[in-house]
Amino acid sequence: KAGVTQTPRYLIKTRGQQVTLSCSPISGHRSVSWYQQTPGQGLQFLFEYFSETQRNKGNFPGRFSGRQFSNSRSEMNVSTLELGDSALYLCASSPAPSGGVRGTQYFGPGTRLTVL
């Protein structure tokens, strides 16, 4: 079974621009969660989608948004980019919400976003 794929792998943007990142979950998985990883803060939860509905949301400003399509693929959008948005953005998929009873989430390799 193919793993979680994220595109693009690397991205360079300038302040004020917007960006869209894509995540394709493992086949059959309906839950996609997004995390921001930075050296200082570690992994911080952004939001989770399950069956096209946002189920959980982390403590990030409204510039961060996402959506999920009927095929479970998910996109994350960041508008009006700031220097502090430079990070590795990871998505994780699982069959059930938040990993379900087994709590297992499978991570993709991430998209490295650099904001200049």
Report the interface residues with other proteins, using CB under 8 A: 4, 33, 35, 41-45, 48, 55-56, 58, 90, 92, 97-101, 103-110
- Say if residues 6 and 91 touch (Cβ distance below 8 Å): yes
CB of 54 to other proteins, least distance (A): 12
CB of 109 to other proteins, least distance (A): 5
CB of 48 to other proteins, least distance (A): 6
The Cα-based distances of 102 to 33, 95, 106 in angstroms read 16, 10, 12
Q: Are strands 87-94 and 106-107 parallel, antiparallel or unpaired?
A: antiparallel
Nearest residue (CB) to other proteins, 48 versus 85: 48
